[in-house]
Amino acid sequence: MIGYRSKWVLLDIVGGALLVVGCSTSSPSVKNGYDQDKTAYESSKGLFDAEAAAIRSGSQPPDWQEVIQRMDGVIRANTNNSFAWYNLGVAQAKLKQWEAAATAYRRAYTLNSSLHEARENLVKVLFAKGDRREAYQLLAKIVKSNPSAVEARVALARYLLAEGRVNDARQLCVQALTYEPKHIEAYCVLSEVALVTKNYLRVRLLVAQGFKIQPDAACLHDALGQLAHAEGDDGAALAHYERAIVAGPRRGASHFRIGALSLAYRAYQRARAAFEAVVQLMPRRPEGYVNLGIALSALGESRAAEKTYLEALRMAGDTPLPAAHLNLGILYLRYLEEYDKAEKEFRMYLRQSDRDTQRVYAWISEARRGRVRAVAEEDDLSESRDDCLEGTSCGATSDTLSPTSSRPLSKAPDPQLPPSQSDQIQPKPNTSKAFSDIRQSRRSGESQVNTDLEPADPADVRSDFE
C-alpha cells in the first residue's frame, strides 16, 4: 500500500519484496523542523495522498517509473516529505537504480528517525551495490538503536560468524529468537555456529526444531549438507544441497557447495552448471567466476575460461585474488601458449601470495623458455617461406607451410576427461572438515580451486530486488 503511516508492512532484510506504506490522518514523527511549517506539511500531505490514490488505482504491481515521477512531484512541493523520499527509494530500488535509491533512503531516515524501514532497505541496497562493509556497519547501528530489529540481528550474526566472532553471532541469534521465537534464519545461523564449533549433535537438534517451524527449509537442508560432508558422507551432502536448491532455487551458497563438491570429484559438467548459477545469483562475488573458470578449463574451453578468470579479477578490483592470476598463468602457459601473458600472471600471483613460490618461479622459467622456442621456430618458419618464394626446395609441400605447422599444438583436454595431472592440480575430496574449509590437493599440477567463499549474506543469496 502507498501512503502515510497507519499500517506498516515491515520490510525485512532477509526476504520479501520492498513494499510501501499505508495512509494516515496523523502527522508523522519527524525531525529537522519538518513539522514547523504546517502549511507546507498539509499541502505536501494532500498532494501525497492524491498521488498515492492514483498509484493504487493503477496497474498492480505499480509502474515503478510512474511512482518515481509522482514522488518527485511531491518532493518538489516539499523537500522534507520523508515518506515521499522513502517511496522514491522503493521505486528506484525496484528498477535497480542503486545509487539513487541509497540517496533517497538516507534522506528519508534523516528527515524521520522513526522510519526504521528506510535504514533496513538501505542495507539491502548497499548489499546490491557491493558495499558490504558499509552495509554491515549500518546493521550494527540498527541493532544498537533498535533492540527488536530481528532481521538486522540475524544478518549481522552471519557477518560476525564469517569474521570468526562465533560467540557474538550466537548471542545475536539468541536475542533474535527472544523477540521472534519462530525465526527460521536464526535457527539456520545457530546451526552454522554449531558446525563451526563441531557440535554436531546440536546441529541435528537445531535442524529438527527448525523443521517443525518451516518444513523443508532450504537453509536447514544446507546445514545438513555441511554436516554430512564434515562426517565424511559426500553423497548425503550432495543430496541435501540439492534439496536446499529445490526449496530455495536462488540460494547461491548451496549452488556454490554443489560446484565445489563436483570439482572435488572431477564432475566438471556438473561443476560448470553449479558455478554458472552462482555467478548469476551472486554476480559481484569473484570466487564463483574463479571456480567456473576451472571447470571450463577442464572441459577444454580455454578461451571461455580465460574470459571468466578476467571477469573474476574485474569483480575483485583492488582486492587480491591470487587464485585467478595463478590459474590464468597456467592457462596461458599450458593451453594457449601465450608465454608473455603467462609470466605476467605468475608475477602478479607472487605479489599477492607467498605460497608455492619455488614452483611458480619454475613456471616463469618455463614460460621464458617457451617464448624463446616460439621465436626460434617462427624464425625457422620465416626462412622456410623465403626459400620457397625463391624457388629453393623447402623440404615440405606448400600446404604444410602454416604458421603452426612447425611445432605440435598442445592438445586441449578431452571434454569427457579431466586434464592430466601434469597440466592441472586436481582437488581431492576432503571429508575431515566443514565444506567451507575444503582445499584442493596439491599433488603435481597447478590450478587452484578457490573454495574460500565466506558465508553468503541474505542479499547475495536471495537477490531480493530481482
The share of the chain scoring above pLDDT 70, in percent, equals: 72
Instruction: Please write the tens of the pLDDT for every residue from 425-450.
Output: 333 343 333 333 333 333 333 444 44
- If pLDDT is split at 50, 70 and 90, which confidence band does 52 have? confident
State residue 320's pLDDT score. Answer: 93
* pLDDT at 344 exceeding the cut of 60: yes
Greater pLDDT, 352 or 381 = 352
Rounded Cα distance between 353 and 320, Å, is 9
Greater pLDDT, 466 or 328 = 328
State residue 440's pLDDT score. Answer: 36
Which three cell numbers, joined as nine digits, stand for 57? 488505482
Amino acid, res. 29: S
Instruction: Please write the tens of the pLDDT for every residue from 121-131.
Output: 999 899 888 88
Q: How far apart are the first and last CA of the chain?
A: 20
For 230-237, the CB contacts below 8 A with 24+ separation are 230/195, 230/198, 230/200, 230/431, 230/432, 230/433, 230/434, 230/435, 231/200, 231/431, 232/431, 232/432, 233/431, 234/261, 234/264, 234/265, 234/429, 234/431, 237/261, 237/435
- If pLDDT is split at 50, 70 and 90, which confidence band does 285 have? confident
267-390+413-466 is classed CATH 3.40.47.10: no
Rounded Cα distance between 120 and 150, Å, is 11
- Do residues 452 and 322 lie in contact, with contact meaning Cβ atoms separated by under 8 Å? no
Instruction: Please write the tens of the pLDDT for every residue from 4-26.
Output: 222 222 222 222 333 343 333 33
Answer whether 1-129 and 267-390+413-466 agree in fold.
Answer: yes
Task: Give the domain 1-129 fold.
Answer: 1.25.40
Domain ranges of the chain: 1-129, 267-390+413-466
- If pLDDT is split at 50, 70 and 90, which confidence band does 421 have? very low
- If pLDDT is split at 50, 70 and 90, which confidence band does 411 have? very low
Instruction: Please write the tens of the pLDDT for every residue from 236-257.
Output: 999 999 999 999 999 999 999 9
- If pLDDT is split at 50, 70 and 90, which confidence band does 60 have? confident
State residue 257's pLDDT score. Answer: 95
Mean pLDDT of 158-185: 93
Mean pLDDT of 79-104: 92
